[in-house]
């Protein structure tokens, strides 16, 4: 390795923020929580795009979970374009199942029907997001997109991930880096 070679910085547990110049409309102004990022690729969930036509009670009904209205209803989010029929719950780490993938000491990811039942019954994790689908990258692909100025990244915090209005998350994430979103150009190469 020469001193000028690029060493990838793995970003599991951080937020990706789409640059205004993002050409893929599925990711325009998205904030993605990176659940995994390593030499084999990356996987994350879009945390700021709601699926308007699907509610949590309707999803529970489709899955034949529970006969009564859920005690703890949450938004159903567009998690990304991969496996959109599959549900993922990003949640606080106090909730743990055998199938839970611990992202770090604050956040877990569970993709079982049991967690949906627990949420509906008011027994789920304190903080949670439900997403259908995920965003995935092959080996080195995300690193290349970051180097090409497709994404910014910032440390995740619970309020930004689990709190607030979905429509405000992109601007709040950009501001957390210390950038005024109005100063970012929509065109690559222009500030």
For residue 159, what pLDDT is reported?
93
**Is the confidence at residue 93, as pLDDT, over 70?**
yes
- Angstrom distance (rounded) from CA 185 to CA 65: 46
User: What sign for the dihedral angle of Cα 157, 160, 141, 181?
Assistant: negative
Q: Tell me if the domain spanning 14-183 has CATH number 3.40.1740.10.
A: yes
Give the pLDDT confidence score for residue 81 in this predicted structure: 96
Q: Rounded to the nearest 5°, which phi and psi values hold at 56? A: -60, -45
Mean pLDDT calculated for residue range 160-183:
88
Checking if the pLDDT of 140 tops 80, the result is yes
Dist CA 99 CA 80 (whole Å): 21
Tokens 């308007």 locate to 52
**pTM of structure:** 0.89
- CB environment 81-100: b (16+ within 10 A), e (fewer): eeeeeebbbbbbbebeeeeb
Does pLDDT of 177 surpass 50?
yes
Share above pLDDT 70 across residues of the chain, in percent, rounded to a whole number: 91
Beta strands in 19-169 (DSSP E): 31-38, 41-46, 76-78, 82-92, 101-102, 107-110, 128-137, 151-155
Two structure tokens written together for 85: 């029929």
């Amino acid at each position: 390795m020469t001193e000028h070679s690029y060493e990838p910085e793995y970003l599991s547990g951080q937020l990706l923020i789409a640059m205004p110049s993002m050409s893929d409309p599925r990711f325009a102004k998205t904030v993605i929580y990176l659940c995994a990022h390593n030499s084999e690729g990356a996987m994350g969930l879009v945390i700021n795009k709601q699926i308007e036509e699907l509610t949590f009670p309707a999803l529970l009904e489709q899955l034949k979970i529970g006969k009564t209205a859920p005690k703890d209803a949450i938004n159903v989010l567009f998690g990304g374009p991969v496996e959109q029929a599959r549900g993922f719950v990003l949640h606080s780490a106090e909730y743990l199942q055998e199938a839970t993938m611990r992202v770090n000491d604050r956040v877990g990811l569970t993709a079982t029907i049991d967690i949906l039942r627990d949420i509906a019954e008011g027994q789920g994790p304190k903080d949670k997001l439900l997403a259908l689908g995920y965003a995935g990258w092959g080996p080195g692909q995300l690193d290349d997109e970051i180097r090409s100025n497709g994404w910014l990244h910032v440390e995740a915090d619970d309020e930004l991930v689990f709190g607030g209005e979905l429509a405000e998350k992109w601007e709040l994430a950009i501001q957390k880096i210390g950038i005024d979103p109005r100063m970012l150009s929509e065109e690559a190469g222009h500030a």
